[in-house]
Amino acid sequence: MARTEQTDGGANSGAATPMMAQYHVLKAQVPDCLLFYRMGDFFELFFDDAKAAAATLDIALTARGTHDGQPVAMCGVPVHAAEGYLARLIKAGHRVAIAEQTESPAEAKKRGGSKSLVARGIVRVVTAGTLTEESLLDAKAANWLVALAEANGELGMAAADISTGRFEIGCVPRSQRDAELARLSAAEIVVPDTLEDAPDGAYPCPRARFDAAAGEARMKSLFGVATLDGYGAFSRAELAAAAGLLAYLDNAGQGTLPFLQPPERRQAAGHMLIDAATRESLELTQASDGGRRGSLLDSVDRTVTGAGARLLRADIAAPLTDRTAIEARLDLVGLFEADSSLRDAVRRALKAQPDIGRALGRIAAGRGSPRDAGQLRDGLAEARNLHDRLGQIDHPPTLLASLLPRLAGHGALVDQLSRALVPMPLVDADKGGYIAEGYDAALDTLRASGGDGRRAIAALEARYRTETGIATLRIRHNGVLGYHVEVAARHADPLMKADSGFTHRQTLAGVVRFNAADLHDHAIKVAQAGAHALAAEAAHLEELTQAVLDRRHAIAATADALARLDVATGLAERAAEGGWCRPTLVDHNCFEIVGGRHPVVEQAVARAGGRFVANDCSLSEDSRLWLVTGPNMGGKSTFLRQNAAIAVLAQSGSPVPATSATLGLVDRLFSRVGASDNLARGRSTFMVEMVETAAILAQATQRSFVILDEVGRGTSTYDGLAIAWAVVEAIHNRNRCRCLFATHYHELTRLAERLDALTLHHVRAREWKGELVLLHELVRGPADRSYGLAVAKLAGLPAPVVTRARAVLAKLEAGRNATGGLAAGLDDLPLFAAAAAAEPKVDPLHAALAATDADTLSPRDALELVYRLKLLLENGAD
């Protein structure tokens, strides 16, 4: 491939060339980006950019000339494969500026002579939040760019997914900022360079870009309105955030702003508030390893389109608190759950749907292709078919009735695209061939002329073979020479003669290439016809693009409607598949679950050939706080998490994994489950636990739902017990929320004697012939013990260690029952006794016996033990 163009004279000679001077000018415009500098068929990188890119991409680092006496580092990637390299660079945290050739070498030569440098300009800045390319995006996840700004003591947030045009604006309390960023799973965050306590990884921009008045004016211009009142009463902080976001997008597109739908003003009160720690511990949309597999979303998702998967993720990430809106979603799911044939038909139709939302986003951003236009044609046509099918339903649910008008109304556009495009247009518009025959008579004539010219060239090839007697003579074409005659080197001599009619062009290993006057004439005709045909097709594509953009908001509404249908039919499929029920929503603070299951764990158990044990949960005003005890691995954490998951699913508008469910709406969901640290912020595991617990106690209301697991276990026994005791009292007396509290501190069960709304429950287990049997069943009352030693043995702890622990436990329990307290009696154990002399006496015989677990000895082990004991005795052991 060509890495330099002909008019870049002296480009290989080093940093003093005009080309390198041009490079430095462009690089100065984007000092924080890696610069992809277009040279022919390659994007080249130089200096430190080349070193960083080569290390990230694992490609060769070379040198090009010198600069200040040092070799200029250089690497490059082919233009045709650039998207794959971009994806890796963006994932690694880099920003990339694209410098394209803004004229052809021929135009540069015509402008300034043979040594004239091809003009270049930065056409785009590629960042994590400004991607639209299909290959760079996750089809099942939105790609949010978020801007934050402060004004009048408020924190404004603006968020856009430019791949589909979604646009949100709202005010966020500082305490909920991280929760909102976690909800969006923001790909990129931009902030004013003056913002204090900016989120980790945020990109600082000049404060001047976050001007509220400029933001208001820009949005009015963008959406063609005289006032923004129809979208909401935006505060100065919200307008400032919107200004920063739009300015950032404008800079990334170098003046080309992507498609944005009118802003949706987000009200925090309309959604269940879920902080980042709770999302992580419940693994709502991603598992602990950062992937999708193993998350609640993955276990629920039965969507068949990327747009549906993205919408389902958004629903689960932000459950509703408006009962009417939730019921509307449940009604739509119920329609498809009740009619399996209708559900199957709609799902088949949706499965064939292209992602028209993202196709529209690429077209609006100026990065669309003929294939994107073809996807809109096919998708909008299928949307009309769905409209006709679903429009026959008598008394449709409210939500379906609102979706139906959005599925139709594109008839003229579909007809135009159908007539204009071939059935399967290619991605590359430069190759042509995407405008259908019969759409433009003049274009058909140009194509015919080009076809005639190619047939004439084929006839010319046959004539040349006859005249020269060279049977292997070929007429070939490439991008440098155009059409030319090619023969094997051994046949070249006759064609080299001055009177042969052929002109030598190029000699390669094994072949020689020639031109001829009549071939040149035919080639010119073919090239001219082809160039004119490409220009005609490009003009038609521009017309089709404008026709699409004229209906961009209606198309986006259709894409959203199709996504909602996909979510509804997918949830109906999941409910039918798993025997899930429709939740009943009530206004009082109850949480009544019969036969509840955890969908992720249930799937894992089923794959292993087991059966998940369902459990009930009944939280009401007189029993709103459950204290759950029982052994590790018995299912306490699963029980806590499954009920939190049921609350999330129910308020997302989904059926739930239970026999029945009656729920009072939850305003905030909190989870303090598991152990983790944050060493980067200097926080130990216990500090993280206390920070999260403090947040719960400060923010939980009577309408909240809280799950707490092993509070206080990260510190000493007495400190931990005291903290857990006080936390239970605070939740019961002050927060008064619905709460499931799992613990191994059996002392906490005494609180049931004086906390009226606290009830005791435990997960059942039993020991049978020395083995622990976990029943995973929750029943009323406290556990009789923790079965810790049995679990340790089940986990594979060495038998001598388990035996020793059993002896220590017996002493501890004896001491706890005496006046000496928890640690009384430990002095009687050799391990803890003070030494009577400087060198304590060791009894090998007794030590060997103490370390032996008779229940685990095989016959051979027992015989060897006898011999070892006898040897110890013979050596003088007492």
Of 25-34, 228-237, 707-716, 775-784, which range is least confident?
Answer: 775-784
Contacts (Cβ under 8 Å, ≥6 apart) of 650: 319, 326, 583, 585, 656, 661, 663
Q: What is the pLDDT of residue 851?
A: 64
* CA–CA separation, 58 and 74 (whole Å): 13
Band the pLDDT of 853: cuts 50, 70, 90. Answer: low
* CA–CA separation, 39 and 34 (whole Å): 15
Q: What is the pLDDT of residue 819?
A: 46
Band the pLDDT of 800: cuts 50, 70, 90. Answer: confident
Q: What is the pLDDT of residue 148?
A: 97
733 is an annotated ligand-binding site residue? no
* CA–CA separation, 32 and 95 (whole Å): 7
Angle at 693 between CA 687 and CA 699, to 5 degrees: 135
User: For the chain, what percent of residues have pLDDT higher than 70?
Assistant: 89
Higher pLDDT, 542 or 509: 542
635 is an annotated ligand-binding site residue? yes
Residue range 328-371, pLDDT digits in tens: 999 999 999 999 999 999 999 999 999 999 999 999 988 899 99
Residue range 715-754, pLDDT digits in tens: 777 888 888 899 999 999 999 999 999 998 888 989 999 8
**pTM metric for this prediction:** 0.84
Q: Which of 245, 246, 361 is nearest to 310 (CA)?
A: 361
* CA–CA separation, 95 and 80 (whole Å): 20
510 is an annotated ligand-binding site residue? no
Number of H helices, E strands in the chain: 28, 27
12 is an annotated ligand-binding site residue? no
Q: What is the pLDDT of residue 453?
A: 85
Query: Cβ atoms within 10 A of the Cβ of 387, count?
Result: 18
pLDDT at 681 > cutoff 60: no
Residues 515 and 505: beta-carbon distance below 8 Å = yes
pLDDT at 579 > cutoff 70: yes
Residues 356 and 379: beta-carbon distance below 8 Å = yes
Q: What does the chain come to in residues?
A: 878
Q: What is the pLDDT of residue 822?
A: 47
Q: What is the pLDDT of residue 675?
A: 56
Q: What is the pLDDT of residue 874?
A: 65
Torsion, Cα 518 523 529 532, to 10 degrees, reads: -130
* CA–CA separation, 617 and 176 (whole Å): 29
Q: What is the pLDDT of residue 844?
A: 67
Residues 277 and 666: beta-carbon distance below 8 Å = no
Contacts (Cβ under 8 Å, ≥6 apart) of 247: 205, 209, 210, 214
pLDDT at 846 > cutoff 80: no
* CA–CA separation, 687 and 679 (whole Å): 10
Contacts (Cβ under 8 Å, ≥6 apart) of 167: 158, 159, 160, 260, 261, 262, 263, 264
SS3 (DSSP) at 291: coil
Band the pLDDT of 631: cuts 50, 70, 90. Answer: confident
712 is an annotated ligand-binding site residue? no
Higher pLDDT, 797 or 735: 735
* CA–CA separation, 606 and 625 (whole Å): 31
636 is an annotated ligand-binding site residue? yes
Q: In order of start, what are the domains of the chain with their CATH numbers?
A: 11-126 (3.40.1170.10), 142-243+256-266 (3.30.420.110), 329-410+551-578 (1.10.1420.10), 441-530 (1.10.1420.10), 584-794 (3.40.50.300), 798-839 (no CATH), 842-878 (no CATH)
Band the pLDDT of 6: cuts 50, 70, 90. Answer: very low
pLDDT at 812 > cutoff 80: no
Q: What is the pLDDT of residue 530?
A: 87
* CA–CA separation, 478 and 460 (whole Å): 18
Q: DSSP secondary structure string, 755-799? A: -TTEEEEEEEEEEETTEEEEEEEEEES--S---HHHHHHHTT--H
* CA–CA separation, 805 and 800 (whole Å): 9
Q: What is the pLDDT of residue 527?
A: 86
634 is an annotated ligand-binding site residue? yes
pLDDT at 823 > cutoff 90: no
Band the pLDDT of 176: cuts 50, 70, 90. Answer: confident
Q: Which of 213, 232, 229 is nearest to 151 (CA)?
A: 213
Q: What is the pLDDT of residue 632?
A: 73
Q: What is the pLDDT of residue 768?
A: 66
Residue range 410-424, pLDDT digits in tens: 999 999 999 999 999
Structure tokens, 230 = 């129809």
637 is an annotated ligand-binding site residue? yes
Of 510-519, 648-657, 681-690, 867-876, which range is least confident?
Answer: 867-876
194-204 average pLDDT score:
91
**Mean pLDDT comparison of 468-482, 637-651, 777-791, 834-848, highest-scoring range:** 637-651
Q: List, in sequence order, every residue forming a beta bridge with 159; answer none if it has no partner.
A: 146, 168
Query: Cβ atoms within 10 A of the Cβ of 710, count?
Result: 21
For 583-736, where are the alpha helices, taking DSSP H only? 599-607, 636-652, 685-699, 717-730
Contacts (Cβ under 8 Å, ≥6 apart) of 704: 666, 667, 668, 669, 670, 735, 737, 738
Band the pLDDT of 866: cuts 50, 70, 90. Answer: confident
Per the prediction, the chain carries an average pLDDT of 87
* CA–CA separation, 589 and 271 (whole Å): 17
Sheet with strand 273-274: strands edge to edge = 273-274, 668-672, 705-709, 738-742, 625-629, 758-768, 771-780
Query: Cβ atoms within 10 A of the Cβ of 857, count?
Result: 14
Q: Which of 415, 365, 395, 329 is nearest to 162 (CA)?
A: 365
Burial annotation 639-672 (CB, 10 A radius, 16+ → b, else e): bbbbbbbbbbbbbbbbbbbbeebbbbbbbbbbbb
Of 296-305, 439-448, 735-744, 761-770, which range is least confident?
Answer: 761-770
* CA–CA separation, 334 and 103 (whole Å): 58
Of 69-73, 206-210, 639-643, 851-855, which range is least confident?
Answer: 851-855
